[in-house]
Amino acid sequence: MWHNLAQLPRYRGLIQSLVARELKARYRGSVLGFFWSFVNPLLLLTIYTFVFTKILPGANKDLEPFAVFMFSGLLPWTWFASSLLEGAGSLISGGNLIKKVLFPAEVLPIVSVLSNMVHFFLGLLILAGFMIYNHHYPDWGDLIWFPVVVLVQLVFTTGLTLLLAALTVHFRDIRDLLANLITLWFFATPIIYYYKMDSVKSFAWFFNRNPFFHLAVSYQELLFFPGPFGHLRWLPALALGSVLVFLAGYWIFDRLRDSFAESV
Amino acid sequence: MSAAIELTNVTKIYRRYGGRHFATLKSALLRRSILQDLKPRETFPALRDVSFTVPAGSTFGVIGRNGSGKSTALKVVAGITKPTSGTVAVRGRISALIELGAGFHPEISGRENVFINGIMLGLTKREIQQRFDEIVEFAELAEFIDAPVKTYSSGMYMRLGFSVAIHVDPDVLLVDEVLAVGDEGFTHKCLDKFGEFKRRGKTILLVTHSLGLVERFCDEAVWLDAGQKREQGDPKRVIGAYVTDVERQEEQFLATSEAKATHDALEPGARQPSEGPVHPGEVAGDMNTTAEGRWGSGGVEISDVKFLGANNQPSHVFHTGEPFTVRFTVRAAKPVQDFVFGLGIFNAEGVCIYGTNTDVEEYVADSLQGEAEVSVVIDALDLVEGTYKLDLAVHRRDGAPYDYHRLLYTFRVKSRLKDVGIYRPRHRWEFAGPIKFRMKT
């Protein structure tokens, strides 16, 4: 496992060009191009903004402008969810490569995670647009923590994606289960509601065990809420947990590696 | 000379997972069998204790039937799959022409695919940049290189894949049956490229069904059969042993399938009484509408049909130019005066190669009673390679059949030459003037 892990940096050229290919292939041949991948979050944003500002105006009076609040949580979530969904099927859809070319299999799920990370970065531009429009800016000093949070999410997402990709080769229904689980997970994470609501606090035990709760709250504190980055104290534990998830995911992936070429 | 590829006691066991085709997590959870489902259930040995060494700079052929482990051997050498036991050592950079263009993405242009494919095959961006023009020129795709690969024809796709793979400039080139595709011109170009590789002292491992290619190109060959090494050495000798074995199996196959066909048709009562007239020329006409079968009044019966080759050995596989005899027994229930024996040879497309009978050859029937033996002796079987079927009949002069066997008997003709057609006239070539040939080696 350590040997294979150490080999990984050697493939960065390959990963780079595959990510570029992924992005190019997605944006080519469609008029709206790059905009398409934001139609879904923008649509969600429109609906939730409407619901929470017009229909249920009471619940979110601390969350103005709501669009900026929601985008701060929704963008990292979209990165996370799309990575898992695409990554889980990546070994099967890239089966040709694994079977016919001498090719390190972990590159495929990693490419899924990284290409979605690029989308995330592009989405930040849209978020910046909303911030400028609403004259609502983050605390610039706290933003030095932003790359750290992104890195933690990257490690966590990669670990989970590797695990799911390896298992999906053997259990094809994981992708269907996953789509449902992700919907549940979305609502179990304070992305469209405020994590400081009393109703959330009374389930603190539950929320504290949701790793994405901490990630979402970190993003919201950094990008939306004024004041110091209060969730910082959770970050070391989150980082450690993410590294453990990554190592566990990679370990299982590595154990199942030899079965891929025969089973995809 | 040092070894470029060394396989030592390589065994590869393929595993099949789960009882069903794909396990589902749902059932695994319900039956609490996640760990079991991740363990292989059945195993299938694709290679069994195979060892061979390919000296650096040589061209090495791997032959064998479908499913004999040839491609697995290549994948093991390429490192795509790991041997279950045994060791594989390869010295130098490998490029595998296994699935050409396996990594191509249909939506992006040929140019971008060349870069990505090259990187997958182990080149750096810079190296690809240097070779790019050469790659495109070799693939003959200069006009289309900026079009998305999904618009390419399959030939263009293959050419580009081949071109990238060959320009990796490997020390060891693995080739799996890729020359079967592509047009004649491109195949020649590929062969030239292999020749160039050979001259430059690179090692080539060639997996193919094209025995001619192995004979022409390879310094050494190995024959794999059911995952085991059967022969290794001089290509001519290995191919000879392989071909003999294939013929033996074909003979067995034809004998069993014929036994089955005749058993079905010759069962008592299977013969349909028919008064339809039969003329030798007509035999071919309704060929496509009539399936194999047997009919006739039964006054005279044909049985014990045998094909005899040289030395009167019964066989089903013959070589062009060998003597060939069809021998059968006829039995008349009561003495008859009016009888004609006929024979028709058909090729696999159902074209009548030849048809004749004793009447058209002016044998006037006198009498037949009890049991007799009839032979049609052909001194030299001048047919091209292929599978042939036979009609045999005994009927009255007016065509009313006693016993008609339609396409019940099959034999194969093998030929060293790959000439084509339905008839092979005896011939030779003569040349006059300043013209010279060398015999092929």
- Going by pLDDT thresholds of 50, 70 and 90, the confidence category of residue B23 is low
Question: Between β-strands B220-225 and B368-378, what pairing exists: parallel, antiparallel or unpaired?
Answer: unpaired
CB pairs under 8 A between A and B: 89
Interface membership of A30 toward B (CB under 8 Å): no
Decide if B277 contacts B399 (C-beta within 8 A). yes
Residues β-bridged to residue B6: B53, B89
- Going by pLDDT thresholds of 50, 70 and 90, the confidence category of residue B378 is very high
Which B positions 74-93 lie with beta carbon below 8 A of chain A?
A: 75, 78-82
Label residue B92 left, alpha or beta by phi (over 0 means left) and psi (-120 to 50 means alpha).
left
The predicted model scores a pTM of 0.69
Q: What are phi and psi of B402, to 5 degrees?
A: -85, -50
CB spacing of A24 vs B79 below 8 angstroms: no
Please give the share of chain B, as a percent, with pLDDT higher than 70: 87
C-alpha span between B393 and B406 (Å, rounded): 8
Q: In this structure, what token pair is assigned to residue B124?
A: 């750096």
Residue B108, in any domain of the structure: yes
Q: Tell me the nearest-neighbour CA distance from B113 into chain A, angstroms.
A: 8
- Going by pLDDT thresholds of 50, 70 and 90, the confidence category of residue B282 is very low
Q: Tell me the nearest-neighbour CA distance from A65 into chain B, angstroms.
A: 40
- Who wins on pLDDT, A154 or A23? A154
In this predicted structure, what is the pLDDT of residue A158? 96
Work out the angle between the directed axes of helices A146-170 and A107-134 (0-180°, nearest 10).
Answer: 140
Residues β-bridged to residue A230: none
Decide if B50 contacts B7 (C-beta within 8 A). yes
Q: Tell me the nearest-neighbour CA distance from B24 into chain A, angstroms.
A: 5
C-alpha span between B71 and B58 (Å, rounded): 19
Residue B272, in any domain of the structure: no
Residue B428, in any domain of the structure: no
How large is the average pLDDT for residues A10-24? Answer: 84
Give the best-scoring range by mean pLDDT among A149-158, B157-166, B246-255, B399-408. A149-158
- Who wins on pLDDT, A28 or A239? A239
What radius of gyration, in Å, describes the C-alpha atoms of chain A?
A: 19
Nearest CB neighbour to A97, from listed B38, B96, B103? B103
In this predicted structure, what is the pLDDT of residue B289? 42
Which A positions 3-22 lie with beta carbon below 8 A of chain B?
A: 13-14, 17-18, 21
Mutation pick from A16, A21, A103 vs chain B, by most beta carbons of B within 10 Å, is A21
Mutation pick from B119, B125, B174, B178 vs chain A, by most beta carbons of A within 10 Å, is B119
Residue B340, in any domain of the structure: yes
Q: Tell me the nearest-neighbour CA distance from A32 into chain B, angstroms.
A: 16
CB spacing of A259 vs B15 below 8 angstroms: yes
Is the backbone peptide bond immediately before A226 cis, with ω within 30 degrees of 0?
Answer: no
Domain shared by B224 and B289, yes or no: no
Question: Between β-strands B203-207 and B220-225, what pairing exists: parallel, antiparallel or unpaired?
Answer: unpaired
Residue B101, in any domain of the structure: yes
CB spacing of A101 vs B28 below 8 angstroms: no
In this predicted structure, what is the pLDDT of residue B288? 41
Label residue B89 left, alpha or beta by phi (over 0 means left) and psi (-120 to 50 means alpha).
beta
In this predicted structure, what is the pLDDT of residue A97? 78
* Domain tally, chain B: 2
- Going by pLDDT thresholds of 50, 70 and 90, the confidence category of residue B285 is very low
Domain shared by B231 and B292, yes or no: no
Residue B161, in any domain of the structure: yes
Residue B263, in any domain of the structure: no
C-alpha span between B315 and B305 (Å, rounded): 11
- Going by pLDDT thresholds of 50, 70 and 90, the confidence category of residue A165 is very high
C-alpha span between B164 and B110 (Å, rounded): 11
Three-class secondary structure assignment of chain B: CCEEEEEEEEEEEEEEECCCCCECHHHHHHCCCHHHHCCEEEEEEEEEEEEEEEECCCEEEEECCCCCCHHHHHHHHHCCCCCCEEEEEECCCEEEECCCCCCCCCCCEHHHHHHHHHHHCCCCHHHHHHHHHHHHHHHCCCCCCCCEHHHCCHHHHHHHHHHHHHCCCCCEEEEECHHHCCCHHHHHHHHHHHHHHHHCCCEEEEECCCHHHHHHHCCEEEEEECCEEEEEECHHHHHHHHHHHHHHHHHHHHHHHHHHHHHHHHCCCCCECCCCCCCCCHHHHCCCCCCCEEECCCCEEEEEEEEECHHHCECCEEECCCCEEEEEEEEEEEEECCCEEEEEEEECCCCEEEEEECCCCCCCCCCEEEEEEEEEEECCCCCCCEEEEEEEEEECCCCCEEEEEEEEEEEEEECCCCCCCCCCCCCCCCCCCCCCCCCCC
CB spacing of A167 vs B96 below 8 angstroms: no
Domain shared by B147 and B290, yes or no: no
Tens digit of pLDDT for each residue in B310-339? 888 888 888 888 899 999 999 998 999 999
In this predicted structure, what is the pLDDT of residue B280? 44
Nearest-by-CA chain B residue for A14: B119
Burial of residue A105, with CB atoms counted within 10 A of its CB: 0-12 exposed, 13-18 middle, 19 or more buried: buried
In this predicted structure, what is the pLDDT of residue B421? 83
Q: Tell me the nearest-neighbour CA distance from A137 into chain B, angstroms.
A: 39
The CATH number covering residue B346 comes to: 2.70.50.60
Residue B250, in any domain of the structure: no
Which B positions 227-266 lie with beta carbon below 8 A of chain A?
A: none
Domain shared by B363 and B229, yes or no: no
Question: Between β-strands B317-319 and B401-414, what pairing exists: parallel, antiparallel or unpaired?
Answer: parallel
Task: State chain A's mean pLDDT as an integer.
Answer: 86
Nearest CB neighbour to B37, from listed A102, A103, A170? A170
- Going by pLDDT thresholds of 50, 70 and 90, the confidence category of residue A189 is very high
Contacts of residue A146, defined as CB under 8 A and 6 or more positions apart, other chains included, come to: A222, A223
In this predicted structure, what is the pLDDT of residue B180? 59
pLDDT(A192) > 90: no
CB spacing of A24 vs B108 below 8 angstroms: yes
CB spacing of A172 vs B24 below 8 angstroms: yes
Interface membership of B168 toward A (CB under 8 Å): no
pLDDT(A41) > 80: no
Interface membership of B40 toward A (CB under 8 Å): yes
- Going by pLDDT thresholds of 50, 70 and 90, the confidence category of residue B272 is low
Residues β-bridged to residue B354: B345
Nearest CB neighbour to B25, from listed A21, A29, A173? A173
Decide if B67 contacts A248 (C-beta within 8 A). no
Decide if A89 contacts A258 (C-beta within 8 A). no
Q: Residues of B with CB below 8 A from A261's CB?
A: 75, 80-81
How large is the average pLDDT for residues B204-232? Answer: 88
CA atoms within 13 A on the CB side of A133: 11
Complex ipTM more than 0.90, yes or no: no
CB spacing of B116 vs A262 below 8 angstroms: no
Which A positions 178-207 lie with beta carbon below 8 A of chain B?
A: none
- Going by pLDDT thresholds of 50, 70 and 90, the confidence category of residue B347 is confident
Residues β-bridged to residue B314: B308
C-alpha span between B132 and A93 (Å, rounded): 28
pLDDT(A233) > 60: yes
In this predicted structure, what is the pLDDT of residue B422? 80
Domain shared by B339 and B239, yes or no: no
CB spacing of B148 vs A29 below 8 angstroms: yes
Q: Residues of B with CB below 8 A from A102's CB?
A: 78-80, 94, 96
Q: Residues of A with CB below 8 A from B105's CB?
A: 21, 25
- Going by pLDDT thresholds of 50, 70 and 90, the confidence category of residue B181 is low
Domain shared by B240 and B300, yes or no: no
Q: How many residues does the structure list for chain A?
A: 264
Please give the share of chain B, as a percent, with pLDDT higher than 90: 17
Cα end-to-end span (Å), chain A: 21
Domain shared by B177 and B314, yes or no: no
Give the best-scoring range by mean pLDDT among A81-90, A219-228, B280-289. A81-90
Domain shared by B194 and B293, yes or no: no
Task: State chain B's mean pLDDT as an integer.
Answer: 82
In angstroms, the Cα distances linking B130 to B93, B123, B167 are 18, 11, 11
- Going by pLDDT thresholds of 50, 70 and 90, the confidence category of residue B264 is low
Report the run of H or E that residue A167 belongs to, with start and end. Answer: helix A146-170
Q: What angle do CA A170, A175, A179 make, to 5 degrees?
A: 155
Q: Residues of B with CB below 8 A from A24's CB?
A: 107-108, 112
Domain shared by B229 and B293, yes or no: no
C-alpha span between A31 and A16 (Å, rounded): 25
The CATH number covering residue B141 comes to: 3.40.50.300
Nearest-by-CA chain B residue for A175: B25
CB spacing of B26 vs A263 below 8 angstroms: no
CB spacing of B94 vs A102 below 8 angstroms: yes
- Who wins on pLDDT, B263 or B252? B252
Which A positions 35-94 lie with beta carbon below 8 A of chain B?
A: none
CB spacing of B103 vs A101 below 8 angstroms: yes
In this predicted structure, what is the pLDDT of residue A119? 87
Please give the share of chain A, as a percent, with pLDDT higher than 90: 38
CB spacing of B15 vs A262 below 8 angstroms: yes
Mutation pick from A171, A174, A258 vs chain B, by most beta carbons of B within 10 Å, is A171
Q: What are phi and psi of A180, to 5 degrees?
A: -70, -45
C-alpha span between B235 and B61 (Å, rounded): 8
Helix runs in A11-145, H state only = 12-27, 39-50, 66-93, 95-100, 107-134
Q: Residues of A with CB below 8 A from B31's CB?
A: none
Domain shared by B82 and B171, yes or no: yes
Domain shared by B236 and B119, yes or no: yes
C-alpha span between B68 and B228 (Å, rounded): 8
Mutation pick from B33, B108, B126, B175 vs chain A, by most beta carbons of A within 10 Å, is B108
In this predicted structure, what is the pLDDT of residue A172? 84
Name the CA dihedral angle for A9, A13, A19, A25, rounded to a multiple of 10 degrees.
-160
Q: In this structure, what token pair is assigned to residue A164?
A: 């799911």
Q: Tell me the nearest-neighbour CA distance from B70 into chain A, angstroms.
A: 14
Nearest CB neighbour to B105, from listed A25, A172, A259? A25
pLDDT-wise least confident of A26-35, B227-236, B316-325 = A26-35
B228-233, strands of its sheet edge to edge:
B94-97, B172-176, B203-207, B59-63, B220-225, B228-233
In this predicted structure, what is the pLDDT of residue A6? 82
Domain shared by B289 and B347, yes or no: yes
Residue B323 belongs to domain spanning: 285-414
Contacts of residue B252, defined as CB under 8 A and 6 or more positions apart, other chains included, come to: none
Decide if A190 contacts A207 (C-beta within 8 A). yes
